Copies of this chain bind each other. A is one copy, B any other.
Amino acid sequence: MTAATTMPTTIPATAAKAGTVETTYREALREAIREAMQKDDRVFLMGEDVGMYGGCFAVSLGLLEEFGPERIRDTPLSESGFVGAGIGAAIAGMRPIVEIMTVNFSLLALDQILNNAATLLHMSGGQVHVPLVIRMTTGAGRQLAAQHSHSFEGWYAHIPGIKVVAPATLEDARGMLWTALQDPDPVLLFEHGSLYNMSGTLAEDAGPVDIQRAVVRRPGRDLTLVSYGGSLPKTLAAAESLAADGIEAEVLDLRVLRPLDDETITDSVRRTHRAVIVDEGWRSGGLSAEISARLTEQCFYDLDSPVERVCSAEVPMPYAKHLEDAALPQPETIAAAGRKVVG
């Protein structure tokens, strides 16, 4: 395992011991890249418009000036080519961070991700390691319509040979990258587009976090709300509204979508006996299905009611705001599902 195994699970900012700084999810991601570039000269960032433009969502703004065009490497529009180049570079000793602007475009590189990155170690009989990190923006909520709003992180979590992480907090935005870079295998890191502007305080000395465990973001005894990424804030809001009704929901943040941290999930559900899974991905065959199936397999006799799922409507995302809102999990729909399993 990686050095990260011994690292503590991420903790809420409020518990930070050292001094704190005001920051945003975007800045925390940028700090993580900067630190990795400083600490390890094998690390470089490659992708469309990461340099001169400053990153399509401004994550890498300023890094070109700091590290130069070799290490903050703008690419042409050639997703398969440059993702594959990241794989090759990882094999030959570099520690590339490849950025794909939006998860939809990653489909153009999926052959490389699945048939090469995820597969080379196995089909070479253990010889070819691919220590690559791929970052992408995921998710809806900004009226970007059907070709810019997908949530495929759960779909990617189907693939053996890769790891999938989804930071939902400032700590994880700051800390997951370094740990992912230490991992000898490909790690896909999904940044939810609606979180970039999320602000808050972060410990001044915030650093690497584990990429193995789910965590409880809000304790509760009556039911478990399983969530991650862009759905976490909505799920916490739903928990508040349930609390107003006297229902105490425990909120889990999966953090790592592959491999799933079964232990933390089942621990919680064995206590609460009820679960709702919140996933912005489509419902059928999504990550929510896997968690539901595992709960059946692992704590069938602990469940007091059927596991519920709150997912995106199974539609390509519409542009119009009222339709997009209706298509996505919302605090109200999450809370309603919570009431249903408790009730």
Contact = CB atoms under 8 A, between A and B. Distances in A.
Interface residues of A, number: 50
A66 interface: no
B296 A306 contact: yes
A315 B126 CA distance: 12
A119 interface: yes
Contact of A155 (B111, B119, B155, B315): B155
Nearest to A286: B158
Contacts of A105: 111
A314 B118 CA distance: 11
Given A107-B110, A114-B107, A316-B118, A296 B292 contact: yes
Contacts of A160: 282, 284, 314-316
B104 A115 contact: yes
Interface in A101-134: 104-105, 107-108, 110-111, 114-115, 118-119, 122-123
A297 B306 contact: yes
B288 A293 contact: yes
Interface string A291-319: 01101110010010111110000111011
A147 interface: yes
Contacts of A158: 155, 282, 284-286
Closest 10 CB pairs of A and B: A292-B293, A300-B306, A158-B285, A160-B314, A289-B289, A123-B146, A289-B293, A107-B111, A119-B316, A289-B290
Given A155-B285, A292-B292, 7 more contacts: A119-B146, A123-B316, A155-B155, A160-B315, A285-B285, A289-B290, A297-B309
